[in-house]
Structure formats: structure tokens, C-alpha cells
Amino acid sequence: MANVVKDDGNGLDKVVLKTPNGASAEVYRHGAHLTSFKTASGKDVLFVSKQAVFKPPKAIRGGVPVCFPQFGQLGPLGQHGFARNAAFEVVGSGDNSVTLELAASGKEDERYPHPFQLRVTVTLADESLTQKLTAINTGSSPIAFTCALHTYFTASAIDKVRVEGLDGVGFTDSLQGGKPLTQEGPVVFDQEVDRVYIGTPGSIKIFDDGAGSCVEIVKEGFPDAVVWNPWVEKSKAMGDFGDDEYQVMLCIEPAVAGSGAVTLQPGKTWNGTQTLTLSNV
């Protein structure tokens, strides 16, 4: 069931999805931002900061900001592009799904004077959720973009979490000026982490020994994955993030980043998806 809520209490519109067995998801029109995914078995998969600001154009801290048409600082635009700051329209819904669209005219930001359509479709099932990002070049010249589904996951405690699936994968370390390194073993968190893993496998798993759960991320179309935890000092420096919240979250972000930008010819379409599936371990 897809239900549009006209005012979430902050004056913003959101769409609530529910399955008959009790799974739910919430997607804001602002940024096509997924802010909640609760499974039928009762697990809250996504983290949203208690300090998050629900005031456009500011991006919401947590859930899944859509970074488009630029990931991070990989281009002339502001950090992570402008889609996460923009108002989307609801253009379709099904039993357990909703599609939101940004019809960009090319006037949104003078540093990116290209028309495009960006669609985000969220489909909910009892223990899984799929997010599909579709970009269409609606202009008359090629466009190039990088992007990410900047997914914030909950963690019972950050020292109880390990990320499997990146062993042997090369990454650039954003905390060392983009130094190229290779992952050895699982990714664990005992300090600030800000890395772009390049050319990753299609499945990455987050094991949370404190919660006795595993979230599998299956991605297509996104060659790369960003792994981020702000740790102590960066948490304190962010106004919309609690000082201690780095202990209960981590970001794994399917991305087009280190592998280089996608070039899309006029009239052509690009798709990227991630499916998040919860299981007990």
C-alpha cells in the first residue's frame, strides 16, 4: 500500500509504504529521500540522526540521500550534487512501490546546464527493499555524471560490525588525499573511515554481531562503493549529527565514483539499483 502523507509534522510530503505483514518504508518528496525501512520482523535497517534537519533545501542526515549528478567533490558542483536538495514529484505508485521524479531543466545550477530526468523507485517487501535510480538524458548533447545512494545503516554498536565482500578490492583513502590501497579482510571500524572502493563485487554484507543480523546489499549498475564513518572529531563538527552517533551507524554507498563518470548520450537511459535484504545470523 502506498499512502501520501501531506504533512509529516515538518510541513513536508512523504510517501509511506506498507506490506500486509508489517514492513514499512518512508520516502520524502524532498530529495526522493528514503528515511525509513522497517522489516516485517521488526528491524529498523536505516539510521537517521536525531539532529537531522527537515528543512529544504538542506539534505536530511540519514536514510538514503541521492547524490546526483555528482558524488562528493568529483566535479564543479557543490558536495554530492543537487538532487538531494531538490523537490521531486510522485509520478507513479503500485501496491508496495513508489516512483519519484526530478525533471531537471538545466537551470537548477549554472555549473550543470543540462536537462535530465532522474527517477527513484522504491519497492518494499517484508525483509527487503529495492531502490532503483534511473537517469535519462532529455537534452541534445551528452551528459556526464557520478552518483551514489548514500545509505546510512543502523549499527547496534560500531565495534560489533564488520563489512564482508571487499577483501582484495582496491580503494582510495579520502583521509590520505586519495591514496590508493587494497582492502585486506573485512572492513572494521575503530577510527574515521572515508574510502571509495573501486570495481566492487555485486554483493556486500554488513554483519552486526550485537544485533545478530546481516544486511546484504546487492547492487547493479554502480561499480563502486563508498564506506564512511565520521568517528569522533567529524561527528562533533557536523551540526546535524549527534556527537556519539558515529557509534550506531555506518554508510555503505553504491556509487559511480572512482571508476569514472557515466557519459549518457541524448535520449539514453542509465539505471542503477540496490536491494537491501535482512537476515538473522
Ligand X SMILES: O=P(O)(O)OC[C@H]1O[C@@H](O)[C@H](O)[C@@H](O)[C@@H]1O
Q: Annotated binding residues for substrate, as ranges?
A: 61, 79, 84
Question: In what side-by-side order are the strands of the sheet with 89-93?
Answer: 89-93, 97-104, 116-124, 128-137, 269-280, 213-220, 203-208, 161-164, 187-188
Distance CA 134, CA 103 (A): 12
What mask, x for binding ligand X by CB under 6 A, covers residues 133 to 152?
Answer: -----------------x--
- What residues from 183 to 212 belong to the interface with ligand X (CB under 6 A)? 194
What mask, x for binding ligand X by CB under 6 A, covers residues 252 to 281?
Answer: -x----------------------------
Strand 143-145 versus strand 262-264 pairing type: antiparallel
- The residues with which 250 forms a beta bridge, in sequence order, are 153
The reply on whether position 174 binds ligand X by CB under 6 A is yes
Q: Which of 37, 153, 228, 231 binds ligand X (CB under 6 A)?
A: 228
Number of residues that bind ligand X (CB under 6 A): 9
Q: Which of 100, 102, 124, 226 binds ligand X (CB under 6 A)?
A: 226
Phi-psi region of 123 (alpha: psi -120 to 50; beta: other; left: phi over 0): beta
Select 106 or 221, whichever has its Cβ closest to ligand X: 221
The reply on whether position 72 binds ligand X by CB under 6 A is yes
Q: How far is the CB of 25 from ligand X (least distance, A)?
A: 21
Active site residue 30: no
The reply on whether position 85 binds ligand X by CB under 6 A is no
Q: How far is the CB of 140 from ligand X (least distance, A)?
A: 32
Given 30, 80, 114, 150, which residue is catalytic?
150
Instruction: HSE, CB side, 13 Å, CA atoms: give it for residue 174.
Output: 18
The reply on whether position 182 binds ligand X by CB under 6 A is no
Considering only 3-11, 45-53, 72-80, 184-192, which stretch makes contact with ligand X by CB under 6 A?
72-80
Select 23 or 166, whichever has its Cβ closest to ligand X: 166
Select 65 or 115, whichever has its Cβ closest to ligand X: 65
The reply on whether position 224 binds ligand X by CB under 6 A is no
Active site residue 253: yes
- Residue ranges of the binding site: 61, 79, 84
Select 72 or 115, whichever has its Cβ closest to ligand X: 72
Contact footprint for ligand X (CB under 6 A): 72, 79-80, 150, 174, 194, 226, 228, 253
Point out the residues that are catalytic. Answer: 150, 253
